[in-house]
């Protein structure tokens, strides 16, 4: 990945943060995107060297396109887009779930990913070269109780990825997705709106994936020869069989 221009959305925490660290070590030139400016600057300082920081919310279509237009010309030819930004809000049955939570998940996980992809595509299409890796979820492969809209949003990522690969195949642009299972990050803190006790219970008795382990898998996907596309990767902790069957230590 040395000297390749890699753009990572949602770089301010979790998998995005870990992915930035892994790709920096691999010699990539990074464009880091996120909503929290102070966290972007903290990551920038940690990485050292030169990065480009884009402070915007992927849900804001105008900000997405304006941010990419602001890049210097020598940073606009992005070699790899890692669409990582996304969120989960609430864990409720449809009949009692919040419409605001639904909007946040659909706008961020689906529309935001599509906006960013659309914004960076012209350069890849012109060069007939590029690589896109989307962050899906095991939740996009199978539904679990009370997760109907989050699962729907990740299923949309899966199907958008498949369609994108078909559309861009004649242009030589590679497209793939990685679908992690349980990863211990800020994910559950956000889902349960800061309820630390409820968030920690998600990981109780589990050896969940780490953000670094997912990031290392993304780096592997990006590093295969250009004639190879890893189209779809599901990565689970060994104690997890699917999106809702978990072999917790205290259940043995």
**Closest Cα partner for 17 from 172, 210, 163, 195?**
210
Determine which one of 115, 150, 220, 244 is catalytic.
150
Give the dihedral of Cα atoms 221, 78, 123, 35; nearest 10 deg: 100
Q: Where are the alpha helices (DSSP H) in the chain?
A: 14-25, 37-47, 61-69, 99-105, 113-127, 148-168, 187-191, 196-203, 211-223
203 belongs to the catalytic site: no
> Using CA atoms, how far apart are residues 186 and 202, in angstroms rounded to an integer?
12
> Using CA atoms, how far apart are residues 1 and 137, in angstroms rounded to an integer?
25
> Using CA atoms, how far apart are residues 232 and 220, in angstroms rounded to an integer?
13
Provide the edge-to-edge strand list for the sheet that holds 130-135.
52-55, 29-34, 5-8, 80-83, 130-135, 173-180, 232-235
Which residues belong to the active site? 150
């Amino acid at each position: 990945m040395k000297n390749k221009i890699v753009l990572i959305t949602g770089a301010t925490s979790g998998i995005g943060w870990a992915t930035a660290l892994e790709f920096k070590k691999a010699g990539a030139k990074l464009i880091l995107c996120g909503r929290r400016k102070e966290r972007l600057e903290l990551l920038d300082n940690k990485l050292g060297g030169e990065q480009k920081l884009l402070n915007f919310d992927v849900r804001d279509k105008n900000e997405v396109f304006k941010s990419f237009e602001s890049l210097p010309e020598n940073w606009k030819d992005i070699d790899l887009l890692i669409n990582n930004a996304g969120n989960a809000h609430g864990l409720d049955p449809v009949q009692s779930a919040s419409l605001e939570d639904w909007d946040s998940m659909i706008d961020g996980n689906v529309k935001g990913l599509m906006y960013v992809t659309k914004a960076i595509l012209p350069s890849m299409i012109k060069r007939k070269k590029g690589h896109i890796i989307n962050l899906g979820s095991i939740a996009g492969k199978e539904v679990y109780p009370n997760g109907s809209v989050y699962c729907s949003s990740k299923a949309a990522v899966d199907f958008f990825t498949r369609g994108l690969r078909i559309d861009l195949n004649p242009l030589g642009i590679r497209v793939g997705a990685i679908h992690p299972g349980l990863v211990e990050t800020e994910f559950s803190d956000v889902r349960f709106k800061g309820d630390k006790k409820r968030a920690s219970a998600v990981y109780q008795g589990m050896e969940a994936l780490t953000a670094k382990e997912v990031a290392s898998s993304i780096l592997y996907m990006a590093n295969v020869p250009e004639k190879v596309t890893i189209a779809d990767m599901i990565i689970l902790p060994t104690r997890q069989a699917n999106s809702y069957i978990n072999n917790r230590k205290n259940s043995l």
